[in-house]
Amino acid sequence: MLMLKIIVRPQKVDQVMEELLLAGFPSISKMDILGRGKQKGIQVGDIHYDQISKKMLMMVIPEDDKEEVIDIVKRTARTGEKGSFGDGKIFVLPVLEAYTISSGKKEL
């Protein structure tokens, strides 16, 4: 199992979640986050915004589904045909164990 931490623009998050749902991946956690990437924030006139609003999606998937989910996110979250700075990141992490709190059962 893998955990994906997916950071996207706020205006893209609903579309990404809808495409993942349609592809059979309904289980997602969504959070509001602030951060910056390589662009080190954004300059608007004389004002520098150090932290930019983003959304983070977290999901746990079987390893066999990794490429499909990543392709959906890249296609859906990208702005324009070639994309642009600030479109986001996808982090892939191994999941060693998972437990359902209500039943106490180990899921992996």
Helices (H) and strands (E) counted in the chain, each on its own, are 2, 6
Burial level of 92, CB count in 10 A (0-12/13-18/19+)? middle
Q: Could you give the C-alpha distances from 48 to 37, 39, 41, 51, in angstroms and in order?
A: 14, 11, 7, 9
Q: What is the pTM of this model?
A: 0.87
Q: Which CATH number fits domain 2-106: 3.40.309.10, 2.30.30.90, 3.30.70.120, 3.40.50.720?
A: 3.30.70.120
Q: What is the pLDDT of residues 60-107, one digit of tens each?
A: 999 999 999 999 999 999 998 887 778 899 999 999 999 999 999 998
Span 15-41, mean pLDDT?
A: 91
What is the residue extent of each domain of the chain?
2-106
Two tokens at 103? 């039943």
